Structure 1
Amino acid sequence: MFSFLKNESTKLRETAKNWLYHAGKVYHFRKDLLSETELSTLVRLSEEVKVGMKDKSDSSDNRLRSSIEALKDHMEQVGGNYYPRTSMAENVEFFFAALIIYVGFTTFFIKPFKIPTNSMWPSYFGMTGEVYHEDEDKPGAIAKAFRFVSFGAKHYDVKAPASGELLIPMQRSGSGYQVFRRPANVKRYFLINAPGIEHSFYVGDERVSFKYPADFNLERQVLEPMKKAGTATPFDRVASMNGLGPDAFAGQVTETVYDPRTGRNVNVKLYLLRTGRKVEEGETLLSFDLMTGDQLFVDRMSYHFVSPKVGDGFVFKTDSIPGIREDKFYIKRLVGTPGDKVRIDGQAMIVNGEPAKGSIAFEKNAQGVDGYDGYLTMKGKSRLSVDLTRENTVPEGQFLALGDNSDNSEDGRMWGYVPEEAVVGRPIMIYYPFTKRFGLAK
């Protein structure tokens, strides 16, 4: 950065050091392929450069340049793939070295983790929505850029593609109908395909659609706030679909959907439900920001030296949990370690006969304050689920984990205990987005 402050002699010696680095690579990686003469020449020329670097006499710079040129010419003959190196080769090598370091670091020390759902709300936020009911409330270009950088907010503005009656594509489901949702890919970090959902609307023959991540709860985060504010949603007519007559639909369309069971695209017949809502071309149907979930650093080292404790934020992998049919990382609250007796009393968590300690979330759930609504005893249908209406003893080598947002969390109540080998670590810090939650994890 400050090379302009250095004199020519200093720069020359730094250049010489770089050539010696490349010569060392050629020697170590090709010494079994080179002849004795080629190796001895490489060593001799390298030593001449080293001597030149130490020489501080008036004529030393010229001798050092000559030594560097001689070493460079020899490496062009014997360097193979290690010299001369193109900038592309150097960049690729640097990328893979950095990748190896990153993988090793995240495997054994600190792992970044993004919270997709709101099962731990309000301790940690998953993806949330901020709805704009009026056009004047929508963020401008500068505000969008600021919100994107600061909060990971992506703006959605779905407008009517034409003037006429708004129509909702429906799909037959058993003896009834359901809103059609197409599986789709969305971009994560602008590059990686991630599972998503695509909704579409029709006005006459014109179609408009929008995609969002599969873990985002559109109903809870966008549609419910719109209803509470008295704002019409595109799906208002869907709630009164009982006893549909022949005039309930405006027609049929066919859309193509990828079928993961066959690996092929298939055509699906859809029925366009009349909503009775007249819209003008360009009228806003939905306007909201999708805010990214909290992104955490997870400590993977501590549990090698200390045992997990009740109250810890608890990150684990799901592939070894029989009751979960997916391979993901989950974050919940640890409510029981091996041998602990656990149950829910009212809306409070009871561990070993006393109110659970170790996290402020336990106390706030028991009181039902600050957004914590208390623990529920709902039980899954699986034989592996844990019924917390009664006391359960956590088995040896197992852990019990529940979400802080009890009525919006699939956890040990549904799929049972977390085996010891599935444990990953505990969250230590929220590093993004830059909200009041930024800092040490709860």
Structure 2
Amino acid sequence: MNFALILFILLVVSGVLWAADRLYARKHRAADAPSPWWVEYGASFFPVILIVFALRSFIVEPFKIPSGSMIPTLLVGDFILVNKFTYGIRLPVINQKIIPLGTPERGDVMVFRYPRDPSMDYIKRVVGVPGDEVVYRGKRLSINGEEVPLTPDGEYLHPERMYYSPRFVEELGEHTHKVLIERDSPAYVSSPFDFPYRENCTYTSSGVSCTVPEGHYFVMGDNRDASSDSRMWGFVPDENIVGRAFFIWFNFGDLKRIGGFN
């Protein structure tokens, strides 16, 4: 049972208690008689739960980064905010889009339900949109036959392991961001999974090429050699999208990380 469903159940229960208290219970008890504790607490929590539910479902939702697949853009322990309406208004719990407002663009950092287990939230960068031919071969990314600009940018120190990774600046669409690409890791991409539209992908000893189907997106982590992404498990369907990540609001280990990111 996910948190959105739990919050929805609490909203319904507290709303019923609030309505019962306002419309029925108050009219049928003595003026000086106190409300039962379960009615009083349930009714008083309803406005708070309603506000939290509305904000989290339609405006902005907080997430915590659990892995290093988006290093150096996002670090383990970053608390981020996700815009819930950039890609359209969706019904909570069932995640059904009811008002289309926009679509993911190349370079966006997107949170989505993991296609192989929708109970899990993943975060990656959008690399390919519907109709794109995405090629990642020899550790170089190309889209629709054009190689994505990649410029060396020194090295990145992994503080928890005390080793350096080559860092690059990548220009993807209107986004300029940093990625890590290990020199010693193999270029070969392994795909142990069978996924929808797998026939759109071709795997070779030097990488993978895929044509993104309609209504789907191809995503990758910025930590290219330490990310499980569309190269391995396939495309992200539109119905799995949660929203666009845009702000780091806290990190217990480094307060300087608070702010927006590309």
Q: TM-score range by the shorter chain?
A: 0.5 to 0.7
Match of 2:125 among 333, 338, 353: 333
Aligned counterpart, 2:81? 297
Is 2:227 aligned against 1:435?
no
How far 1:429 moved relative to its partner? Answer: 0.5
Letter in 1 for 2:247: M
Is 2:70 aligned against 1:120?
yes
Letter in 1 for 2:238: E
Aligned counterpart, 2:53? 103
The residue matched to 2:45 in structure 1 has which SS?
helix
Letter in 1 for 2:191: G
* Whole-Å separation in 2 of the counterparts to 1:91 and 1:27: 11
> Structure 1's 374 and 306: CA in aligned 2 closer, same or farther, altered over 3 A?
same
> Structure 1's 78 and 334: CA in aligned 2 closer, same or farther, altered over 3 A?
same
User: In the TM superposition, what whole-angstrom CA distance separates every residue of 1:57-84 from its partner, at most 9, and x where no partner exists?
Assistant: xxxxxxxxxxxxxxxxxxx6258xxx62
Aligned counterpart, 1:379? 190
User: In the TM superposition, what whole-angstrom CA distance separates every residue of 1:18-44 from its partner, at most 9, and x where no partner exists?
Assistant: xxxxxxx9995139966xxxxxxxxxx
* Whole-Å separation in 2 of the counterparts to 1:413 and 1:27: 55
The residue matched to 1:301 in structure 2 has which SS?
coil
How far 1:346 moved relative to its partner? Answer: 2.8
Stretches of structure 2 lacking an aligned partner (at least 5 in a row): 1-18, 89-100, 156-165, 169-177
* Whole-Å separation in 1 of the counterparts to 2:240 and 2:35: 44
Aligned counterpart, 2:91? none
Letter in 2 for 1:349: L
1:158-307 correspondence runs (5 A): 293-304=77-88, 305-307=101-103
The residue matched to 2:80 in structure 1 has which SS?
strand
* Whole-Å separation in 1 of the counterparts to 2:246 and 2:51: 21
> Structure 1's 363 and 113: CA in aligned 2 closer, same or farther, altered over 3 A?
farther
Aligned counterpart, 1:398? 216
The residue matched to 2:104 in structure 1 has which SS?
coil
Indicate conservation of the 8 Å contact 2:57/2:84, yes or no: yes
* Whole-Å separation in 1 of the counterparts to 2:118 and 2:238: 18
* Whole-Å separation in 1 of the counterparts to 2:41 and 2:208: 60
TM-score if structure 2 supplies the norm length?
0.65
> Structure 1's 363 and 353: CA in aligned 2 closer, same or farther, altered over 3 A?
farther
User: In the TM superposition, what whole-angstrom CA distance separates every residue of 1:377-400 from its partner, at most 9, and x where no partner exists?
Assistant: 512122336556353210111111
The residue matched to 2:191 in structure 1 has which SS?
coil
User: In the TM superposition, what whole-angstrom CA distance separates every residue of 1:66-123 from its partner, at most 9, and x where no partner exists?
Assistant: xxxxxxxxxx6258xxx62478754443334312321222111101011101111111
Match of 2:24 among 17, 30, 49: 30
The residue matched to 2:255 in structure 1 has which SS?
coil
* Whole-Å separation in 1 of the counterparts to 2:21 and 2:221: 57
Indicate conservation of the 8 Å contact 2:21/2:43, yes or no: no
User: In the TM superposition, what whole-angstrom CA distance separates every residue of 1:153-180 from its partner, at most 9, and x where no partner exists?
Assistant: xxxxxxxxxxxxxxxxxxxxxxxxxxxx
Indicate conservation of the 8 Å contact 2:71/2:222, yes or no: yes
The residue matched to 2:30 in structure 1 has which SS?
helix
Indicate conservation of the 8 Å contact 1:379/1:387, yes or no: no
Q: Which has the larger radius of gyration?
A: 1
1:357-372 correspondence runs (5 A): 368-369=166-167, 372=179
Letter in 1 for 2:83: D
Indicate conservation of the 8 Å contact 1:125/1:294, yes or no: yes
Match of 1:426 among 244, 248, 259: 244
Indicate conservation of the 8 Å contact 1:344/1:377, yes or no: no
TM-score if structure 1 supplies the norm length?
0.40
Match of 1:356 among 148, 156, 161: 148
Higher-helix-fraction structure? 1
* Whole-Å separation in 2 of the counterparts to 1:343 and 1:428: 26
How far 1:364 moved relative to its partner? Answer: 5.9
* Whole-Å separation in 2 of the counterparts to 1:99 and 1:31: 21
Stretches of structure 1 lacking an aligned partner (at least 5 in a row): 1-24, 35-75, 127-292
Indicate conservation of the 8 Å contact 2:65/2:79, yes or no: yes
User: In the TM superposition, what whole-angstrom CA distance separates every residue of 1:174-210 from its partner, at most 9, and x where no partner exists?
Assistant: xxxxxxxxxxxxxxxxxxxxxxxxxxxxxxxxxxxxx
Count of paired positions: 199
* Whole-Å separation in 1 of the counterparts to 2:27 and 2:126: 58
How far 1:325 moved relative to its partner? Answer: 4.1
Aligned counterpart, 2:108? 312
- Aligned residues: CA RMSD: 3.2
> Structure 1's 390 and 326: CA in aligned 2 closer, same or farther, altered over 3 A?
closer
Aligned counterpart, 1:343? 135
| Aligned-pair identity (%) | 31
